[in-house]
Structure 1
Amino acid sequence: MAIATLGTVVLDCADPHALAAFYAEILGARVESDDDTWVSLTGYEGTPLAFQAAPGHTAPEWPSPGTSQQFHLDLTVENLDAAEHRVLALGAKPLDTGDRTRGFRVYADPAGHPFCLCAC
């Protein structure tokens, strides 16, 4: 028997509204906020995603043998090339996109968190 269920994945960042808007565009979600320290996404399928203000936030380094990427999101897409074009236009930075034969590509969101676009 499970002890718990996954409620919400929360990303720390300097600007919760900006990062929420980035992921809202990718997921087709709506941004909901009661204040400047916590922002949630609604209106999409999948695990709830929220963004929390973290003053002094330091982005993970990827790849770095001396530090961890902390976590990453795998986002499933129909077309890797089309999705890549759209996330780059939203402000994502490519981290590992050179091998076009793989079924995934790695990016950083505007706050520096790594995420992957994965072919379905």
Structure 2
Amino acid sequence: MAHAELATVVLDCPDPRALAGFYAEVLGGSVEGEGDWVDLKVRGGRTLAFQAAPGYVPPRWPAPDASQQFHLDLVVDDLDTAEKAVLALGATVLDAADRERSFRVYADPAGHPFCLCAS
């Protein structure tokens, strides 16, 4: 079998356009589409997609009985600066108590966990 190529990561959410806008502010790129499916075209030709999910319930972190299913690791030059930026955009802190480690955990406005990681 030939190897597959990853084309798109898709996040379920209640409002695809709004969540695509959040990640466009965090990652850069252009938001394309309306309605139940919206794409964010980011550097390097990758696409992060957002799909409307009726009855969406966000994952809980950490919760062994309610798995986060996946999360995004976003590499940044300065954790403190990036943290201020994502919080201003509507992210919430899930775990940033250990300020000395190389990553901090947040939730996007729809509740998906993501990490800011030091480069």
**Structure 1 length as normaliser, TM-score?**
0.94
Give unpaired runs (5+ residues) of structure 2.
none
1:64 alignment partner AA? A
Q: Compared with structure 1, are the counterparts of its residues 70 and 46 closer, same or farther at alpha carbon in structure 2 (3 Å cutoff)?
A: farther
Alpha carbons 2:42, 2:48 under 8 Å: kept? no
- CA positional deviation for 1:38: 0.5
In structure 2, do the counterparts of structure 1 residues 108 and 43 end up closer, same or farther at CA, with 3 Å as the change threshold? closer
Is residue 50 of structure 2 the alignment partner of residue 21 of structure 1?
no
CA drift at 1:44: 2.2
Distance in 1 (CA, whole Å) between partners of 2:3 and 2:44 is 24
Q: Give the aligned residue type for 2:56.
A: H
Q: How does 1:76-115 map to 2 (within 5 A)?
A: 76-115=75-114
Q: Offset of 1:29 from its aligned partner?
A: 1.2
1:46 offset after TM fit, Å? Answer: 6.2
In structure 2, relative to structure 1, the CA distance for the partners of 1:66 and 1:75 (3 Å cut) is same
Q: Count the aligned residue pairs.
A: 119
Partners of 2:82 and 2:51 in 1: how far apart? Answer: 26
- Separation of aligned partners in 1, 2:41 and 2:58: 25
Any idea what SS the aligned residue of 1:45 has?
Answer: helix
How do 1:1-120 residues align onto structure 2 when only pairs under 5 Å count?
2-33=2-33, 35-45=34-44, 47-120=46-119
**Percent of residue pairs bearing the same amino acid type:** 66
8 Å Cα contact 2:12/2:56 also seen in 1: yes
Matched to 1:73, the amino acid is: L
Tell me by how many angstroms 1:101 deviates: 0.8
Between 1:77-86 and 1:58-67, the stretch displaced more is: 58-67
Note if contact 2:58-2:112 (Cα within 8 Å) is conserved in structure 1.
yes
- Structure 1 spans left out of the alignment, 5+ residues: none
